[in-house]
Amino acid sequence: DQQVKQNSPSLSVQEGRISILNCDYTNSMFDYFLWYKKYPAEGPTFLISISSIKDKNEDGRFTVFLNKSAKHLSLHIVPSQPGDSAVYFCAASEAGGSYIPTFGRGTSLIVHP
């Protein structure tokens, strides 16, 4: 049973437009959420995170929104660039638990020039 779900396997966006990647979770004990970016033939790299005490965290072109009541988070990339084309993994963990994140299956983002 997936505790972290990324229901869109792929997303295609035009350069300069907004990319919105979604993630849903089922475990109400999750209180820390992360996004990782992965290029082909490389390991994932940390992108941005958010604690459950916040509902928004921004870092340059990347913003993560958290809706705890809906158990939903989203990653917004504005404006999207061709170099953003990658697989994005959503992950969630519980501070009071093992703190090891549970990963979603990933969304492949393609940004067209």
Partner 1 sequence: NAGVTQTPKFQVLKTGQSMTLQCAQDMNHNSMYWYRQDPGMGLRLIYYSASEGTTDKGEVPNGYNVSRLNKREFSLRLESAAPSQTSVYFCASTPFPTGRDSSYNEQFFGPGTRLTVL
Among 8, 20, 32, 110, binds partner 1 (CB under 8 A): 32
Distances (CA, A) of 4 to 12, 26, 93, 111: 22, 7, 10, 24
Q: Does 103 bind partner 1 (CB under 8 A)?
A: yes
- Residue 1 within binding range of partner 1, rule CB under 8 A: no
Contact 109, 14 (CB under 8 A): no
Structure token pair of residue 72: 């939903």
Tokens of 71: 């158990």
Please give the full DSSP string across 41-80, using - where no structure is assigned. TS--EEEEEEETT-SEEEETTEEEEEETTTTEEEEEESS-
Residue 113 Cβ vs partner 1, minimum distance, rounded to whole Å: 26
Number of residues that bind partner 1 (CB under 8 A): 26
Stretch that binds partner 1, among 13-21, 65-73, 78-86, 103-111 (CB under 8 A): 103-111
Q: Using the rule CB under 8 A, which residue among 49, 61, 71, 110 binds partner 1?
A: 49
Residues that bind partner 1 (CB under 8 A): 6, 9, 31-32, 34, 36, 41-46, 49, 51, 53, 89, 93, 95, 98-101, 103-106
